[in-house]
Amino acid sequence: MPVLVASDLDRTLIYSAAALGLTMPDVRAPRLLCVEVYESKPLSYMTETAAELLTGLGDAAVFVPTTTRTRKQYQRINLPGPRPTYAICANGGHLLVDGVSDPAWHARVTARLADECAPLDEVQEHLLRVADPVWVRKHRIAEDLFAYLVVERRLLPEDWVKELAVWAGNRGWTVSLQGRKVYAVPVPLTKSAAVREVARRTGADLTLAAGDSLLDADLLLAADRGWRPGHGELADAGWTAPTVSALPERGVLAGERILREFLRAARRG
């Protein structure tokens, strides 16, 4: 039986230039590999060692990139190693098979959202009403599934995200703050549901996972074993679980450590 490895990407395995600052300042700077270019500019990185580990992982397990990114944003990334057969985008809203979204899966997801939570239009309208243009830089709708704001973090009022989370929670939505982005995502829109579908299709009997944000908590809980880095939303909250290891490493070195753990566990599995 194959081992399935489902991992978040941003701030878990790959890091933007801004996120590179998460690495402890007293740690010697590692050699980096650019894995994403946008508008002719390098955007995301991983260490060269992490790239070697990911290449090895592709031979030892079914590796499934599992991201909140839209399909278009995901397709900008050029990860080392074998091209993944499966990828999960839009927080589980799209299950890609050989780069193409599975229409049956997407239909199942959208039907569930229509039944179980407030419509996207209502949430979008609320965000536009309560967000202050002083600290909002962009407002985006992702794949007609969820919304997010790009904010000036230092100007964002301390209690604003908490108040938004309460409002959204009463309507079947969750809120996550990741770097400069504030996400509003329907509760039923989960990475874990899509990962379970991939496990069913591949016959995997062992699932490993990693992630750093609130939107990764369900993924980590659904896996047989999980890891979270020493930075991010989950680390800030002190979140953990019996099957989840909280790593001390931060930044790109956390990505390297996570891949080592994946590879070790996959080979044992």
pLDDT exceeds 80 at position 101: yes
In the CATH hierarchy, which top-level class contains the domain 118-186? Answer: alpha beta
In the CATH hierarchy, which top-level class contains the domain 3-110+190-268? Answer: alpha beta
Mean per-residue pLDDT, 223-230 = 98
CA quadruple 250, 181, 156, 218: dihedral positive or negative?
A: negative
Q: What is the pLDDT of residue 19?
A: 87
Residue spans in the chain of domains classed CATH 3.30.1360: 118-186
Give CA–CA dist 14/51, Å, rounded. 10
Mean per-residue pLDDT, 121-133 = 96
Q: How far is CA 62 from CA 59, 74, 235, in A?
A: 8, 18, 27
Q: What single-letter DSSP state applies at residue 131? A: S
The pLDDT tens digits for 9-26 are: 999 999 998 888 777 666
The pLDDT tens digits for 69-88 are: 999 999 999 999 989 999 99
The tokens describing 154, both together, are: 């230092």
Residue spans in the chain of domains classed CATH 3.40.50.1000: 3-110+190-268
C-alpha closest to that of 29 among 41, 21, 19: 21
C-alpha closest to that of 263 among 38, 11, 37, 56: 56
Give CA–CA dist 235/247, Å, rounded. 9
Q: What single-letter DSSP state applies at residue 61? A: S
pTM: 0.93
Q: What is the pLDDT of residue 26?
A: 60
Per-residue confidence at 27, pLDDT binned at 50, 70, 90?
low
